[in-house]
A and B are shown apart, each in its own frame.
Chain A
């Protein structure tokens, strides 16, 4: 089987789940296990990225993704440069391109980008010599989130082939939904999107998914129930009559959670709104692996940073290490 992304020559970026094939994903998830072990040591730090500098370029708010990347970089002994829009020259009118070229001129090895515009990380990769990781661009992609979700699901379900995952909620505004629809289907799982028509993208042709407006009709069949946050800050107008009605129709209530099969996982990318997409009590059940997703996020991001910056795959024409 080919690994299209891992075997590609030259500088590597992680921009979209679309760039990875099943073999790439499996290799990243296997590598993640090595890094999860590092986190269990009494001194959870290895010198793999000593001397490498990574810049965070976050044009949107983020707590968990940023802290997760920061922790991952520190565990690999990389140096990190912080850039937050609030206290930077962006407020003085500097363009994204000039900002990237300025940071690049300081000599960095990696840039982790979060931006409100889809495609911004791709643009950054054109302007910089550093490896670029997409940490979320608009409604488009969030590949490390998908990888950590796949790692978490695979850890519990062993093999994702033939498993059924429902992604429930605000699909239109969700880069997590787009990344996971690709990620889970590439791993052989069946993906069903569940949302009211107002929260589904108008064009779904070509998506490897099924669509339903009725969560109750598929509940019994699910192996993973993946809930999305209602992104009130991105929704321009009223798309649901009320959050209470949304909860009644599409929320994972206690009654719905009872209907899930015993092995089924409840997942959420966070931050969650208890009482909206998930009942407060359901989020604390053993089936809910939401905090585990956060912990795995650090290990997955270590694996990605290592692959892009430390593995030497970009400098040596020798691919046996990823055979």
Chain B
């Protein structure tokens, strides 16, 4: 799970305690394949599409989506990573530190960007990412792909491709890991 998610949950520190497994590793694989098909269907192929994974939780999912798209379409798709920390709106409210490198493979101007993250929660990270992408160029469009949409949006943002819609309580945690997706909470 991204450290960002952990901090957003507001719990001071602690360990993640899983209560239910909501997706198995196989469920996640199937969802990745379906989302790859949806991306290709909606954009009429992979031409002009660039996949950008959000640091750090979305990077793994982005590379899986890109691999799935390549497997279906047979052509390579540009893939990058983005750290939107510098564009966040909660400076001064909590410690904020850039987590990892940004690597945008090409000028995004005129491209269709598929922004990828593991969990969509308040939408604030996505808002920051939209700002960040625009400092690299002006994409033709930006689409959003997430493995889990857990609700509780604080901004008018919605995903275009969703692995699973998962109703949660605000204080719960969603953990996307190698074994699938778990729902639980942070224990002090």
Contact = CB atoms under 8 A, between A and B. Distances in A.
Interface of A: 31, 33-34, 37-38, 41-49, 310-313, 315-316, 318-322
B86 A38 contact: yes
Contact of B96 (A44, A45, A319, A321): A321
A312 B89 CA distance: 12
B102 interface: yes
A320 B13 contact: yes
B149 interface: no
Nearest to B92: A312
A33 B97 CA distance: 12
Given A316-B93, A316-B94, A319-B95, 6 more contacts: A37-B102, A38-B86, A41-B136, A311-B95, A320-B95, A321-B97
A318 B135 contact: no
B20 to A, nearest CB: 26
A8 to B, nearest CB: 14
B101 A33 contact: yes
B101 A37 contact: yes
Given A42-B135, A42-B137, A45-B135, A312 B93 contact: yes
Given A38-B86, A48-B86, A318 B95 contact: yes
A34 B99 CA distance: 9
Contacts of B136: 41-43
14 contacts: A31-B97, A33-B101, A37-B101, A41-B136, A42-B107, A42-B137, A47-B131, A311-B91, A311-B95, A311-B96, A312-B91, A318-B94, A320-B3, A320-B95
Main secondary structure of the interface of A (DSSP, over half): loop
Nearest first, the 5 closest Cβ-Cβ pairs linking A and B are A321-B95, A46-B86, A34-B98, A43-B135, A321-B97
A77 to B, nearest CB: 10
B91 A48 contact: yes
B83 interface: yes
Contact of A46 (B13, B107, B135): B135
B111 to A, nearest CB: 14
Contacts of B101: 33-34, 37
Given A33-B101, A46-B87, A312 B95 contact: yes
Nearest to B109: A42
Nearest to B136: A41
Nearest to A313: B95
Contacts of B3: 320
B95 A31 contact: no
Contact of A34 (B83, B87, B92, B131): B83
Interface centre among B92, B102, B136 (most CB of A within 10 A): B92
B134 interface: yes
Nearest to B104: A41
Interface in B102-127: 102, 107
Contacts of A312: 91-96
Contact of A41 (B83, B85, B91, B135): B135
Contacts of B7: 320-321
A225 to B, nearest CB: 31
A227 B72 CA distance: 58
A322 to B, nearest CB: 6
A318 B96 CA distance: 10
Contacts of B93: 312, 315-316
Contact of A322 (B85, B91, B97): B97
Contacts of B134: 43
A39 B98 CA distance: 15
Interface centre among B95, B101, B102 (most CB of A within 10 A): B95
B96 to A, nearest CB: 6
A9 B135 CA distance: 34
Interface centre among B3, B7, B94, B97 (most CB of A within 10 A): B97
A295 to B, nearest CB: 18
A91 to B, nearest CB: 37
B135 A31 contact: no
A304 B135 CA distance: 22
B121 to A, nearest CB: 19
Given A42-B107, A43-B135, A320-B13, A311 B87 contact: no
